[in-house]
Structure 1
């Protein structure tokens, strides 16, 4: 697994995609927090990072599939997939190595946003007038969301040798799982059915964590989706041996 992890990280660092992801994400989020009217902290008048945590999931829907689309698709197109499968590595070694490399890239991209937190913290009146528990919960939720999107992207890359097709499939699945269920619940007549449908989506559990509610049920939900997606990827790889 660590061999694949090192290989993927080196591949990211030797290409422009990793640096483009970081620049696009940090520039876009920074503009919304500090520059654009109606969303920047200075005009908003409240010491919070709602712009970051409200916008980041939708940015991740496109950036993370862009990172993961090459994971297996490039191996298949280049004819190196068969060579990789003949090495003394299990399917899980390959999957987890590629998955962790993609997720770590997103974590490194997210780390500089801590500067935004400390900036808002010191700009608050009085100083420190910010819901730190809510921010911590939002970061946990965002990391778990990135982990889920990375697993979805790895799965999408495993079912096609075309990177563009993998990107489209991953972006579509990320959108459906994040916003699809909440939209569907609004079409129901309300009541328990609407609440149940809403709970099936990523957005419900992400919002719960963003409110500072670190409930084990929300964390288990995210981990369950990750496991299902990685197991689906394993089935796709295993099908090549049939």
Structure 2
């Protein structure tokens, strides 16, 4: 899809019907009429999850439609911009640049100017020094001797800068990250980030619905690979919460 195509969607229902009437029917009945109406996630959250999945999978054909839809559902231009910046670190710079070329056209069509976008160097949110020290020490102990550069970038760029940028809430950053990890099949990284998401305010019901939503945008195999991992996180948190305090 060209970044200069300023229509609302790159693929119309008529396009789909011309090739696969059955797929058009499933799209309308299962996704438009049912999935997006489910109350477990707001349409705003579903838009964030969908954009994260598409960028993580470098599926630019859908970004134009869902970027427009995200803006219609209350995601701010600054949040769309920051979502792409965040995913450069979690899905790679090429995927982020591919999304940029599509979203640039969406912003132009809507008259969204630079003053609506995040600052390059904003005042960062407060850091939980104790939690970050624990995380950094754990990673350094595991990998510092072998991958010192990676450990430094992870601490300095991700957890002492990216995660503290104010134009996405901590919950939204976690929502973006978990969605991208599941969509990309990176299930080994899900436990840490899902726990962080739930610590940041994502409920178990919402997290479960993220998985359901992603089945339609990342495919059933990606979701079934993630389900045992997500279920294990839920069960371990439930066990901890059920333990009496000492």
What TM-score does the superposition give when structure 1 sets the normalisation length?
A: 0.26
What TM-score does the superposition give when structure 2 sets the normalisation length?
A: 0.25
